Amino acid sequence: MRAPNVRGDGTLVHTRVSALGMEDSTFNEIYNETAHPLWRYVARISGSATSADDILQETYLSFLRSPFKGSDLKEAKPYLYKIATNLVYKRFHKTRHETQSEFDEANQDETASAAFNESIEMSQIFSRLNERERALLWLAYVEGYEHKEIAAILNVNSLSVRVLLYRARRQLAEHLEVEGK
Amino acid sequence: MKETNGLEEHIVSDWMQRLAEQTQPPSNLSTPSLILFKAGLIEKRRRAERAIMPIIWMQIATLTLFAIAALWLLLSDRSPLAVLFRETLSSLMSVVPFIVFGAIAAAMICVAFAFVLRRE
């Protein structure tokens, strides 16, 4: 499928449009900007590196099927996080007992350094939090989202984000204290 | 209290940054073209399914009409076969409530099973 597009000099160019109504170039741009941070987010909140790949694909497929057809990365990114969060929650509730510590096993072949050992410890500490606490902390401290944006992504009241974030932080701080970090 | 919170926030923030640095995606992460290809296939399949829906509805409607017409012909006919059919039908009328009750019970059991399997 081809759609007309106007260049800076006024000439018409034709860009490929996917079957779902979004230009391939726009999607490529969004994907290249968001895939890696989104994978890290999914892997950490699901606690599984292997299911992170599947969830990442599902997220982009849902995104392409969604009514969102804009090209603004600022709008697309939180939307992708919202889809990914819902998919993780859905999967987490289906396979509640299988999610812990798989992250470490999947990565064990790749590294064998002191940094990796630290990573295992960190993963174990992080996996003691529930999925919402992990998501809250990640979105706030790694992605740097505002409370309002976090509320929209996690589908919670924006006024309660502050309290939930405080509790999650407290939980993590307690675990760190116990581990002597 | 505020100072403690601030310190805690600083520690947690620092720790989260380190955790993020140590979370590296695999080198063989899916490419955007693969996602677009998959999305295209799914969309094609969906369109194909949508396209055959009218045909399926037409088939159902035709079969229903055919069944009604056959029944009407059989009931209005005076041949021995039609008489036998009518008599069988009238004798079955006494057990209709049991058949209906059995069908409803079977449907309810099926729904309950499906619900339990879905939850598991």
Full DSSP string of A143-157: S---HHHHHHHHTS-
What tokens does B13 get?
A: 């923030």
Classify B6 as helix, strand or coil: helix
Q: How far is CA A169 from the centre of its chain?
A: 19
pLDDT per residue rounded down to tens, chain A (181 residues): 444 444 444 433 334 445 456 778 888 889 999 999 999 999 999 888 888 989 999 999 999 988 776 667 778 899 999 999 999 988 877 665 454 455 555 454 444 445 555 677 888 888 889 889 999 999 999 999 999 999 999 999 988 999 999 999 998 988 888 877 5
In a domain, B15, yes or no: no
Collect all residues from A whose CB is shorter than 8 A from any CB in B: 18-20, 24, 27-28, 31-32, 35-36, 39-40, 43-44, 49, 52-53, 56-57, 60-61, 64-65, 115-116, 118-119, 122-123, 126, 137-138, 141-142, 166, 169-170, 172-173, 176, 181
- Residue B3, domain member (yes or no): no
User: How far apart are the CA of B22 and the nearest CA of chain A, in angstroms?
Assistant: 6
- The model's pLDDT over A131-145, given as tens digits with 9 standing for 90+, comes to 899 999 999 999 999
* Sign of the torsion formed by the C-alpha atoms of B98, B100, B106 and B109: negative
- Note whether residue B50 is domain-resident: yes
As for how many domains chain B has, the answer is 1
Residue B37 inside a domain? The answer is yes
Q: Of A88, A54, A116, whose CA–CA distance to B19 is shortest?
A: A116
Rounded to a whole number of angstroms, the CA Rg of chain B reads 32
Is residue A5 within 8 Å of residue A14, measured between CB atoms? yes
Asked if residue B106 belongs to a domain, the reply is no
CA distance A76 to A70: 8
Residues of B in contact with A20 (CB under 8 A): 39-40, 43
Q: Is A48 in a helix, a strand, or coil?
A: coil
What is the C-alpha to C-alpha distance for residues A140 and A53, in angstroms, rounded to an integer? 23
Q: Which residues contact B110 (CB under 8 A, 6 or more apart)?
A: none
Range of the domain at B41: 30-75
Nearest to B43 among A20, A56, A173 (CB): A20
The answer to whether residue B23 neighbours chain A at the CB level (below 8 Å) is: yes
Q: How many residues does chain A have?
A: 181
Domain membership of residue B55 (yes or no) is yes
User: Is residue B35 situated within a structural domain?
Assistant: yes
pTM to 2 decimal places: 0.69
Could you list the mean pLDDT of each consecutive 10-residue stretch along chain B, which spans 120 residues? 71 90 86 91 92 94 94 82 84 88 95 84
Domain contains B116? no
Tokens 């899916």 found at: B30
